[in-house]
Each structure stands twice: as C-alpha cells, then as structure tokens.
C-alpha cells in the first residue's frame, strides 16, 4: 500500500506541490482578512486586480525574454555558419581539399567541422551548408570527398533544390523538407527519412537500399528504376508515385498508401504488395489495374528480371541517366 502511495506521489509530485501552495496561500489570505476585519471574499476582491496585472506583467516579461533568447540563438547560428564557410573556403583554396587524398588530415578536419556544424544549425541553414558542399563537389558520387555518414540533417529544408548524384549515405534526415527536390541518381543507402516530406521529389535511379521512410510522404514522387530493396516504407504515402521498374524486394510496405501509383515492371511480389493499406487504381507490375487484378483472382505476376538487357539505364559519373527523359 505504501509503495503504491509512493508511486502516486512521485508521478503527480508537481500537481500535489501546486495544490499545497494554493491551500497555504488561501489560509494566509483568510488569516489576513480576519485580522483586517473583512471577509475572505472582500479581501480577494481587493487583491484580484493587482494580482491579474502582476500575472500579465510576468507573462509579458517571459515572452520578451524568450524573444531575446531566440534572437541570440539565431545570431549565434548565423555566426557559426559564417565561420564554417570561411574555414571551408580556406581548406578548398589554400589546402587543396577537393584534390586531397582519402584519409588525409585535411579531409578529416573538413568532415569533423561539417558534422559539428550540422548539429548546431537549424533546418534552413543546414540546407544552405549542404548546397555549398554539393556545389563545391565535395559530396557527390560513390566516393565523396566528405562522407556525410551519421550527419544530423534533421528537418533540413531543401525544397526545389537540384542535388542529382548527391551522396547522403546513412544520414539522419528525419522530417526533412524535400518537396520537388531533384535527387536523380542520389546515394541514400540506409538513410533515415522517417516523417520526411518528399512530395513530387525526383528520385529516379536513386540508390535507396535499406532506407527508412516510415510515415514519409512521397505523393507524386518520381522513383522510376530506383533501388528500394529492403527499404522500410511502413505507413508511407505513395499516392500517384511513379514506381515503374523500382526494386522493392524485401521492402516493408505495411500500412503504405499506393492509390494511383504506377508499379509497372516493379520488382515486388503480390504478397509484399498486399501489405499496403490501399492500392486503389494502382497500376501493378503486370500492367493491369489493381481492381482488375483482384477480379482475376490475384494471380502471381512473378518478378521482372533486373538483369535483362536495357533494364537498368546507363548513368554518368554523377548517377544521372544518359539520353533518357526521367519523366518518360
């Protein structure tokens, strides 16, 4: 019994302390009213106006202090980003970072500074830093100058950015804002994109092996010929997504919404696909509509052969498709 009571007290400690404080204040007010020859209610009427004004002043001061702290933090982040750009410019121009060898000291310094600054900055400034690294050709291809593995890119804003061939291998992109972002041929193996917004993003030929896209939104996204094998797409929104020729072997589709999605020649089994919560009007790997396939008794369409000649489009050194329009 005492143990249970102790747990209740520990759980509701703050509520109990506030209640006791209120009782003590009321008792003191009652004593003061008695001493002044007034009733408790009369005494409360006298005190209520200054108390309300005091409370308003306290709230105003707190709001003003919070604004000051927010401004100070924003200034600090801006100064941190400026210092980072200055130092990285030195490493590029003076120390030859771009042409340095793998494992060199200059690369180690650049990576350490980059990972550190990402932990400090907000989503907007993270986006500015990432664009700088991309435009400086430091995070492109299979062997980037600065590997971003384990980088904290949470809530990064890259809306409409052109980042074809970027290497974001095993980065943390929770709640990333990637609406209409160009990521053709991007390297995103093992990336954490939980709750990210990739609506209408261009991800054709991207390597998304083992990526985590739990509850992410990919409404209208272009994923033609992307590798989504072993990806976690549970709860993802894939409405009207272009998934033709996509590799989905071993992917988790539990609870995913695939209404209107195009899955022509996708590498996925009926069993795995039926884990999705909705497939209304989706085009299946055998080019039939979902409703038609169900009416035919849901026959197995097999898995397309990815090794067939012409199945995988050729890519240039940045992972871009050669001689083909990604919207085709």
Per-residue pLDDT of the chain (328 residues; tens, 9 = 90+): 555 556 655 666 666 665 666 666 666 666 665 666 666 555 555 556 566 656 666 676 777 777 878 888 899 999 999 999 999 999 999 999 999 999 999 999 999 999 999 999 999 999 999 999 999 999 999 999 999 999 999 999 999 999 999 999 999 999 999 999 999 999 999 999 999 999 999 999 999 999 999 999 999 999 999 999 999 999 999 999 999 999 999 999 999 999 999 999 999 989 899 999 999 999 999 999 999 999 998 888 765 544 343 344 433 433 344 334 333 3
Write down the pLDDT at residue 228.
96
Q: Is the pTM of this model over 0.85?
A: no
Domain boundaries defined on the chain: 38-147, 153-328
How many C-alpha atoms does 163 have within 13 Å on its Cβ side?
29
3-class DSSP assignment, residue 85:
helix
Of 163, 304, 166, 309, nearest to 247 by C-alpha is 304
Buried-exposed string 146-179: b where 16+ CB fall within 10 A, e elsewhere: bbbbebbbbbbbbeebebbbbbbbbbbbbbbbbb
| Cβ 254 vs Cβ 273: under 8 Å | no
Write down the pLDDT at residue 108.
96
| Cβ 167 vs Cβ 147: under 8 Å | yes
Q: Is the dihedral of CA 193, 194, 197, 203 positive or negative?
A: positive
Top-level CATH class of 153-328?
mainly beta
Write down the pLDDT at residue 137.
96
Q: What is d(CA 183, CA 313) in angstroms, rounded to the nearest whole number?
A: 16
């Amino acid at each position: 019994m005492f143990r249970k009571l102790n747990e209740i007290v520990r759980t509701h400690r703050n509520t109990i302390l506030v209640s006791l404080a209120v009782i003590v204040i009321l008792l003191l007010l009652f004593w003061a009213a008695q001493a002044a020859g007034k009733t408790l209610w009369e005494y409360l009427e006298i005190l209520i106006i200054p108390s309300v004004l005091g409370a308003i002043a306290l709230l105003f001061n707190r709001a003003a202090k919070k604004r000051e702290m927010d401004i100070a933090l924003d200034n600090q982040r801006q100064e941190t980003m400026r210092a980072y750009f200055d130092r990285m410019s030195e490493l590029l121009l003076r120390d030859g970072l771009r042409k340095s060898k793998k494992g060199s000291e200059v690369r180690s310094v650049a990576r350490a500074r980059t990972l550190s600054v990402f932990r400090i900055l907000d989503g907007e400034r993270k986006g500015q830093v990432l664009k700088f690294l991309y435009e400086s050709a430091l995070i492109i291809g299979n062997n980037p100058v600065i590997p971003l593995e384990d980088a904290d890119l949470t809530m990064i804003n890259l809306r409409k950015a052109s980042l074809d061939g970027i290497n974001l291998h095993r980065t943390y992109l929770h709640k990333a804002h990637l609406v209409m972002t160009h990521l053709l041929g991007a390297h995103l193996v093992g990336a954490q994109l939980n709750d990210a917004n990739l609506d209408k993003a261009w991800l054709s030929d991207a390597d998304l092996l083992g990526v985590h896209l739990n509850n992410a939104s990919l409404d209208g996204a272009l994923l033609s010929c992307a590798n989504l094998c072993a990806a976690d797409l549970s709860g993802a929104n894939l409405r009207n997504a272009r998934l033709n020729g996509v590799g989905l072997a071993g992917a988790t589709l539990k609870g995913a919404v695939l209404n209107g999605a195009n899955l022509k020649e996708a590498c996925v089994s009926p069993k795995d696909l039926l884990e999705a919560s909705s497939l209304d009007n989706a085009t299946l790997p055998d080019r039939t509509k979902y409703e038609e396939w169900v009416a035919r008794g849901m026959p197995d369409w097999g898995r397309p052969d990815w090794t067939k000649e012409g199945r995988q489009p050729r890519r240039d050194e940045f992972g871009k498709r050669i001689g083909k329009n990604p919207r085709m």
